[in-house]
Amino acid sequence: MKNLILVLTFLLTTVSFAQNKNAKASIEVDGVCLMCKERIEKAAIRTKGVKSAIWNVKTHELKLIYDERKTNLDTIQKHIIAVGHDTKDMKATDEAYNSVHACCKYRDIDVQKDHKN
């Protein structure tokens, strides 16, 4: 019994130390403009455990620094799709997408063309 307690204590300690409090990741998030940038970054930053979120308008890359003990990439992505932006792995509901400003309708080909100029 004593050995079992020691093994369990060791495993729990190992798991807690395996999580990184300054994990870095990047995910692809759809958007077209600076209003999208603000919305995406706010959604990510408001996720408990996210320390930094910077979205690049041209590359659609969201660079994150977050605490793995408090959140994970799925949770962060769920906050982003909730404000209307698709990620590579998750798609925003039509209701969430339709809530974004008309110039931010990144799924619309005409809007994409307008932002390339």
Question: pLDDT by residue (tens digit) across 47-102?
Answer: 999 999 999 999 999 999 999 999 999 999 999 999 999 999 999 999 999 999 99
Number of Cα atoms under 13 Å in the Cβ half of residue 68: 11
Handedness of CA 99, 42, 59, 81 (dihedral sign): negative
Q: What percent of the chain has pLDDT over 70?
A: 85
| Banded pLDDT at 8 (limits 50, 70, 90) | low
28 phi, psi to nearest 5 deg: -90, 125
3-class state of residue 2 by DSSP? helix
pLDDT for residue 17: 57
pTM of the model: 0.82
- Diameter of the chain measured on Cα atoms: 70
pLDDT, the chain, mean: 90
Burial of 60 (0-12, 13-18, 19+ CB in 10 A): buried
Domain ranges of the chain: 20-116
pLDDT for residue 84: 98
- Fold category of 20-116 in CATH: Alpha-Beta Plaits (3.30.70)
Burial of 50 (0-12, 13-18, 19+ CB in 10 A): buried
